[in-house]
Structure 1
Amino acid sequence: MNNLSQRCILAVGNTGNGKSFTATVFGAQNVIIGHSSKSQTDTITIHKIKNGGFYIDTPGFDDSDEDKGDDDTVRSIFRKMFKEKIQKLTTILWFVTPDVRAKGSYKRQAKFIESLAEYCNGNVWENTIIVTKGDTIQTGPRDAAREIAKEIRRTQIDVLLKTADFKILLFESLKPESVYVKGNFTSEMLNEFGVFKGSEPDRILAKYESLMKYHLNYPIHLSLKIVKCSKCSEENDRRLASSMCHSGTESFHPETECVHVGNVIDIHPSSHFKKHSSHYVDARTQQVFDHSPQAWTVRVFSVGIVNPTCPEFVHGYWNCCGNGDVNSSGCKEVYRCCEKDLHSSGCQRIYDVCRHKIGEPTCLTICRSCKKRSDTNGCKERCNNCKDDNSRNKAGCIKTSHKFSVN
């Protein structure tokens, strides 16, 4: 929009410090560039001014002393300037009041002014005029600007050496008992004390003209640099970026399941021992007697004893091996749990790690994806506010700072 033959003046400061009045001093016309809504105090208005050029009237910054900044105001100013294709600023008018309590506000505004030249080799403070509303200049704004400049530029050099000061007190705002009103001073004398009449805007303009003498030759270039946030989908110049991002990340397991630990195996739960078969043969009569536990139970219920004829066994043998000694050790090894052969497959199914039986309640919760326990560090990451595991590819969910990569 603007070129080197045009002035482009950016007015910065809190509401009520004289930004809109100064627009009229520069001959702001009714022609407004772009869209301006209901109130000049809460929108960015770009006026055409006399002799070509533009005056950008901005919303007031937060007046509180909390060091939280006013990101929405800053973002709106940058977006408006880039939207209207303003590529160079010749002068920054920083409107302040001599208030010792406003250090936090001064620092936020100074940080914004410093950011105007973020990708420019120029010194934005050489194009800045600190306009103090009153007849006394305080060091607060300048000290805050030095602090911010040193912090951002990481230098001990005073970059505000060529920053101009302009104290201005409107004669019409003074009380009748003011010494400037009662003294019947000429306009020239009033101007020496920083008092100007609103009815004489040319005198105010002349003061600005003298302070802006070399600004047109060394403008501040507004450049863009696109960076990507590592926490959300924002990809923009950091000064234009949305205030919404994702908060910190947390690890999580996407889907869990309850399981037993280990593989399923077949086992015999008890030890093994040697035994004979359940049948004993009387060598004299060749009568076969059943010695199984089931037969013992039947005899106990029928005759009251386990085996009424067993004490008479002096000759005989086990049917399984022909061993005649009723008290001899068994001829084969079996498991006590099921009396199956020693080499038989297990009679019970369990998990080989946790040793739980099939059908028993599960003993562990694990992640389906990585198979690790659910109480270990997760195998995926997500936003710890909205819990979206695809948050890096989506717009932010909370008002917080971005984490832009540095190229």
Structure 2
Amino acid sequence: MTRRVCSIDDNGSGGGGGGGGTRSSSARSKPNQNGRIKVESIPMRPIRMKNQENSPLDSRCILVVGTSGTGKTTLLNIFTGANEVTGSGAQGVTSETVVVPDSIHSNYPQWIDNPGWSDPGGKSDSHVFKDLLKTMQDLGIYNLQAVIWCVTPQPRMDANLQAQARFIHEFTEENEKKKIWNNVIIVSKGKVHKNLEEDCQGARTAATSLWVHAQPICLGWELATPEIVQGTEPKLRREILRIYTEEEIRGAMEVAIDSLPPPIQVFEQVVFANQKCLSCGQTGDPRLMEDKCHRGKKQGHTGTLEQRFSKKEVGVAVAGGAVGVGALTAISIATGGAEALAALPIFVAPSSILAGHRFFNTSSTNPPPCGPVRINDMRWNCCGQPEVGGKGCTDMCDLCDKIWGEGPGCVLIRNPDRGLQGQMNTYEVHVKNHDLVQNEVPHNNKKTKSIVSSEATAIL
């Protein structure tokens, strides 16, 4: 397999030019503080754009992702001339998704920075991923020019690298799967092994576990201090120690980005993926759906249990019986005989039966109303079926008793990562997939797939 490794020349400048853009002076320019776009993190809200005239957007972007503390924001600042806040340790500093225009290169895409993955004090990795996709969807950014995957030097694949590789794999729609890896640049922060490929081997193995032909570009360096630059021979510093100045880092990144194939499509430019889960009712792009759904389906009732005979029916029966008894009594007195009273049971029995039935009738879960005598003949007011022996009339969730196909879901369908576990006191996991179908809604008098965002809010 051919490995792609980019380098810089002895002058610290990038080679070739490609279609990615042109370089201006290597001096860093301080960006306009209003020239950045911030996006509210999950729960997803309308995006607020600052100074849009100074921050032109196109449909391309460069995503910078990776574990907190691996130099994501530092690299963004070096390449774009931005001045985002950076940290010096493993704890993440970036707390929201930020879209930053490139103020150094005239034709390069904007960059998107985000809270790091695997941050002990940060949000869920899944929420970070969904927030990124939602940002791109809302801003009309349909294409990925590059994914900059920042890692620490690691020769072996671990669970964190596997999880991050899966998220990168999901940045593209189904028909674009696997192509994403041709547009990935792995950047290793620091130097542990003599060979750069060894420092990137863990991340590369995670990529090839998803697509055997994945060939992400590999870069790696430590950021030079003025003392190191002054006291070290340039070739030794770059080639052996792998310590780069900001200008050299920018040049190496330019070479790598210019060598990439055309941008990868994240969303269809006219039609977004629009599906619906038949279990919990979430709609939109499946990648933006919350990992919550209903557990299982059962037959149940949406109504409540009621007496089989209403108070009105019992009242009518009692009133009718009273009228009958009065009439028979009048006849008996008028005729002077008691024969008419023999018909009394005919008038008294219905009202007595209905009143007695209502008095002794109760739900199977309630205690008897009077001693051991009870009748279980309650009826569901939604369908009229009896409580005992009847069948359900509505599909419902077997855990939360909500109507099947209506949210919110009651169980996690993916095992939560560490960030999500820290946000919840209790949770239940039932591993399954959303029951997805294509969601079509009428638009302009014809059926078209429409842009519908997931209405699910973040878990907690």
| TM-based fold match above 0.5 | yes
Task: Give the CA RMSD over aligned residues.
Answer: 4.0
CA distance in 1, matches of 2:190, 2:410: 44
1:77-98: per-residue Cα shift (whole Å, max 9, x none)?
1111122221111111101113
Per-residue deviation, residues 181-202 of structure 1 (Å, max 9, x unmatched): 69953222222136224xx212
- Match of 1:26, SS state, is helix
Q: TM-score, normalised by structure 1?
A: 0.59
Following superposition of structure 1 onto structure 2, how do residues 1-400 of structure 1 map, counting pairs within 5 Å?
Answer: 1-2=57-58, 8-29=61-82, 41-49=94-102, 50-52=104-106, 53-63=109-119, 70-99=125-154, 103-121=158-176, 123-135=179-191, 136=193, 137-147=199-209, 149-150=210-211, 158-160=212-214, 162-172=215-225, 184-193=231-240, 195-197=242-244, 200-215=245-260, 217-223=261-267, 224-253=272-301, 254-256=303-305, 361-365=373-377, 367-368=379-380, 369=383, 371=385, 374=388, 378-389=392-403, 392-396=405-409, 400=413
Question: What amino acid maps onto 1:131 in structure 2?
Answer: V
Query: Aligned in 2, Cα 1:258/1:238: closer, same or farther, shift over 3 Å?
Result: same
Runs of 5+ consecutive residues of structure 2 not aligned to the other structure: 1-56, 86-91, 194-198, 310-341, 351-355, 361-372, 415-432, 439-460
Match of 2:434 among 399, 403, 406: 403
**DSSP-derived class of the 1:205 partner:** helix
CA radius of gyration, larger in? 1
Question: 1:256/1:81 Cα in 2 relative to 1: closer, same or farther (>3 Å)?
Answer: same
Distance in 2, matches of 1:140 and 1:205, equals 24
1:370-397 deviation digits (Å, cap 9, x = unpaired) = 63553676332323444333x6344445
Change (3 A) 1:182 1:202: closer
Q: 1:357–1:242: structure 2 CA closer, same or farther, 3 Å change rule?
A: closer
Secondary structure, in 3 states, of the residue corresponding to 1:167?
Answer: strand
More helix by share: 2
Give the letter aligned to residue 43 of structure 1: E
Q: Is this contact kept in 2: 1:93–1:129, CA < 8 A?
A: yes
CA distance in 1, matches of 2:222, 2:149: 15
Per-residue deviation, 1:117:
1.7
Structure 2 CA distance for partners of 1:182 and 1:44, relative to 1, 3 Å: closer
- The answer to whether the 8 A contact 1:258-1:363 is kept is no
State the Cα distance separating 1:126 from its structure 2 match: 0.4
Asked whether the 8 Å contact 1:257–1:365 carries over to 2, the reply is: no
Counterpart residue identity of residue 434, structure 2: K
1:400 Cα deviation after fit: 4.7
Distance of 2:252 and 2:229 partners within structure 1: 24
Look up the equivalent residue of 1:249 and give its one-letter code.
K
Cα-to-partner distance string for 1:157-183 (whole Å, 9 max, x where unaligned): x231x311112222349xx9xxxx699
- Cα distance in 2 for partners of 1:80, 1:121 equals 20
- Output the CA distance in 2 between the equivalents of 1:70 and 1:374: 48
Name the CA shift for 1:114/1:130 in 2 (closer, same or farther; >3 Å): same
Q: Secondary structure at the match of 1:139?
A: helix
Task: Provide the rounded CA distance (Å) in 2 between the counterparts of 1:194 and 1:245.
Answer: 51
Separation (CA, whole Å) in 1 of partners of 2:155 and 2:379: 59
Give the CA deviation at 1:367.
Answer: 4.8
Unaligned runs of 5+ in 1: 33-38, 151-157, 261-339, 351-355
- DSSP 3-state at the match of 2:159: helix
Aligned AA (1:112): F
Deviation of 1:54 (Å): 0.9
Code of the aligned partner of 1:107:
Q
Q: How many Å apart are 1:62 and its aligned residue? A: 2.1
In 2, the alpha carbon distance for the partners of 1:31 and 1:101 equals: 31
Report the secondary structure of 1:90's partner residue.
strand
Q: For 2:164 and 2:388, how far apart are their aligned partners in 1?
A: 49
The 8 Å contact of residues 143 and 265 in structure 2, kept in 1 or not, is answered as yes
1:11 is displaced (CA, Å) by 0.3
Answer yes or no: is the 8 Å Cα contact 2:152–2:190 preserved in 1. Answer: yes
- CA shift at 1:25, angstroms? 1.9
Give the SS at the match of 1:166.
strand
Task: Report the Cα offset of residue 113 of structure 1.
Answer: 0.8
More strand by percentage: 1
Tell me how far apart the structure 1 counterparts of residues 118 and 131 of structure 2 sit (CA, whole Å).
14
SS at match of 2:436: coil
